[in-house]
Amino acid sequence: MPSYTAPVEDMMFLFEKLRDNKNYNELEKYKEVSPDLVKDILDQAAKINQNLILPLAKAGDENPAILENGVVRTPPGYKEAYQKYIEDGWTSLSCDPKYGGQGMPRTVSAFFDEMISSASLAFKLYSELTLGAYNCIHHHATDEIKDKYLPKMVEGRWSGTMCLTEPVCGTDLGLLKTKAVEQPNGTYKITGQKIFITSGDHDLTENIIHLVIARTTDAPKGTKGISLFLVPKFIVKDDGTIGSRNGISTGSIETKMGIKGSATCVLNFDEAAGIMIGPKNKGLSQMFTMMNLERIVVGIQGLGISEIAYQNSLSYAKERKQGKSNNNSQNGNADLIIEHADIRKTLLNMKSIIEGERALCFWLSQQTEVSLNHNDQKIKQEASDMVSLMTPVVKSLFSDLGMEITSDAMQIFGGYGYTKDQGIEQFYRDNRITPIYEGTNSVQAADLVFRKLSNKNGNIINKFLDTVRSETNSNNEKVKPFIDDFNHYLNILKKFSEWTIERIENKKDDVSAAANDYLKTLGYVSLAFSWIKVLNVSFKDYQENKKFYEDKINTAKFYFDKVLPRAEQHYKSAISGSSNIMNFKFN
C-alpha cells in the first residue's frame, strides 16, 4: 500500500509567511486563527488522514460500493471511518458556528482538502458534496430552511448532493427535462432522472439532502427556466426529525475506471417532495454557488493526488537500483535510479509544480475569504473577480498536471507501477475523473476566455496582471533575475490576452481553438507568480532555516528553467489560428 506523510511543514510555511493579503488580514472574524491553532489542526488532520483514511483507498478500489436490493452499501471500513470522521468534527471545519461549525477560513480548510484528497479521494467525496450543498443553502435559502437542515449537515449526520446531469444533457443544462409541479401548500413534486450523481445514495448518513435543478410547468425554455429545489431522501418533519421515504430511488451505480469506493448513482425522482430554494427560474445562478466552490476543490483533488504520487515516487527512486549513472565509477554495480538525470528531472518537475500549486491555492484562498467577508464592497468585488478568473485555471491546470504527475509516477516505478501491487496505477485512475467532472477542462477553458477575461466590472485580466506585478516587486538582488524572467512571461500573457479579446468579436473559432492554450499559459504564469512570492520570503529569511529555504530556491529555479517555458510554447501554438482546423476534411 502507498505511504503518505501530510506536508504540514510546507502548509505552515504558507500560513505563517505568505498570509500577506492586507484585505484578508483586515477580516475580524479570523483574527483569532493563530499559527499555533492552525498547526494543531493540521497535525490532527495529518493523523486521521495517514492512519485512518489512507487504508480506505485500497479497500474502496478492491471492494467498490454496490447496489443491493435497492440499498447502496459502501466499501468495508467506510462506515466506521466516517463515524470517527464526523465525531472529530472534520465536516464542520469551515462551516458557520451558528449552525455548529468551527468557522475556520479556507486558508486552513483547503489544506485539509488536499490531505484527504491524497489519502482517499473516493472516501472524501461522501462529505465533499455535503459542504457544497451546505454553502448553496447557506447563501440562498430562507432562515427557516437553514435552521432546519444545516445543523445536521454541518454535523455530518446528513449529507448532500448536487443533481444536475441528465441522460439528455450534460454541460448543456438548458436541455434538462426534470419537472417540478407546484402543490397547494407551496412545495413541489419533482419528477425526472439524474445521472452521474456523486454520493447520490449510500449508507453513511441518516439522510441525504439533494439539491436538484428542474423546470416548473410554466418555465421558459433554456437555462432561464431552471429553478433549484431541496429534495431530501427522507422527508424532514416540522420538528426536524426524519419521516417517511421520499419518492427517490437509485436506479444503478456506475462501474468506473477509478474512485470506485464512491457511489456514482443514477437517481430516479418520482413525484418527490421538494422545496424551492431562492427565486423561481434563477436556479442555475444559485447552483453555481456550489459549482464554483467545487471547481476549486477539484483542482485541490488533483494537487492532493499529485502529492502522494510524488512522495511514493521519491521513496521508490531512493531504494530501487537499476543501471549505472553517468557519474558511476564502479564497475558492475547498479545505481539507485535517483542518480539518473532523467529520474531527477521528473521528480523535480513533480515537486516544482506541486509546491507552486499549493502556494497559488493559498493565495486564492485569501482572495476567496475577502470576496465573501470584507466590509468594503469595492474590495470585495475585486477579490471576487480574481476568484472568478482563477477558478477555471485551478480546476483545469491542477487536474491536467495531476494526470501528468501520476503518469510519471507510474513511469518511475516501471513495470511495478503498471501492476496493482504497488497502488501507483490507482492514483492515475482515481485522478482521471478530475479533468472531466464539474465541467470538463475544455468547458473551463471556454468559460475563461469567453466570460472571465472581461466582465461588467472591466478588463479582469489586466487587473490580474497589475496585481501580480505589484505583489512581486522586490529590492532583493537575488530575486531580481527571477522577476526579470517572470516579466518576460507576463508580457507574453498580456499579448496573448489582447490577441484573444480582439478575436472574440469576429474570429470565435480562433479563440475556441486557443482556449486550452490560453488557460495553460495563464496557469503556468500564475504558478510562477506564486514562486516569486515564495522566493521573496526564502531569500529574506534564509538564515532562519537554511535547509528549508535552500530547497525552495532550487525548486523554484527548476520551475523557471524547465516548466515555465511551456507558457510560451502554448502561446506560439495558439496564435497560428484555426483555419486549418476548421477546414480540415475528416474522412
Catalogue the active-site residues.
Answer: 438
Tally of CA atoms within 13 A in the half-sphere of 546 that contains its CB:
1
Question: Which grid coordinates belong to 466?
Answer: 497589475
Q: At what angle do helices 106-119 and 35-47 cross, to 10 degrees?
A: 20
How is 430-492 classified by DSSP, letter by letter?
A: HHTTTTTSSS-HHHHHHHIIIIISEETTEEHHHHHHHHHHHHT----TTTHHHHHHHHHHHHH
Kindly report the CA angle at 134 between 222 and 118, in degrees rounded to 5?
100
Q: How far is C-alpha 578 from the geometric centre of its chain's CA atoms?
A: 31
Cell 499559527 -> residue? 35
Question: Which grid coordinates belong to 150?
Answer: 444545516
Question: Strand 188-198 vs strand 179-182: parallel, antiparallel, or unpaired?
Answer: antiparallel
Torsion of CA 175, 178, 181, 185, to 10 degrees: -120
Whether 18 and 45 have beta carbons less than 8 Å apart is answered as no
Whether 234 and 244 have beta carbons less than 8 Å apart is answered as yes
What secondary structure letter does DSSP report for 280? T
Rounded to whole angstroms, the Cα distance separating 200 from 194 reads 9
Residue from 113, 118, 114, 119 nearest 94 by CA: 113
Rounded to whole angstroms, the Cα distance separating 212 from 283 reads 9
Query: With DSSP H G I counted as helix, E B as strand and the rest as coil, what are the percentages for the chain, rounded to 5?
Result: 60, 15, 25
b/e map of 258-268 (b: 16 or more CB within 10 Å)? bbbbbbbbbbb
Cell 507558457 -> residue? 567
Rounded to whole angstroms, the Cα distance separating 443 from 534 reads 31
Q: Amino acid identity of 578? A: S
Question: Which grid coordinates belong to 374?
Answer: 470584507
How many CB atoms lie under 10 A from the CB of residue 164? 24
Whether 567 and 494 have beta carbons less than 8 Å apart is answered as no
First vs last Cα of the chain: how many Å apart? 47
Residue from 166, 198, 174 nearest 268 by CA: 166
Q: How far is C-alpha 51 from the geometric centre of its chain's CA atoms?
A: 23
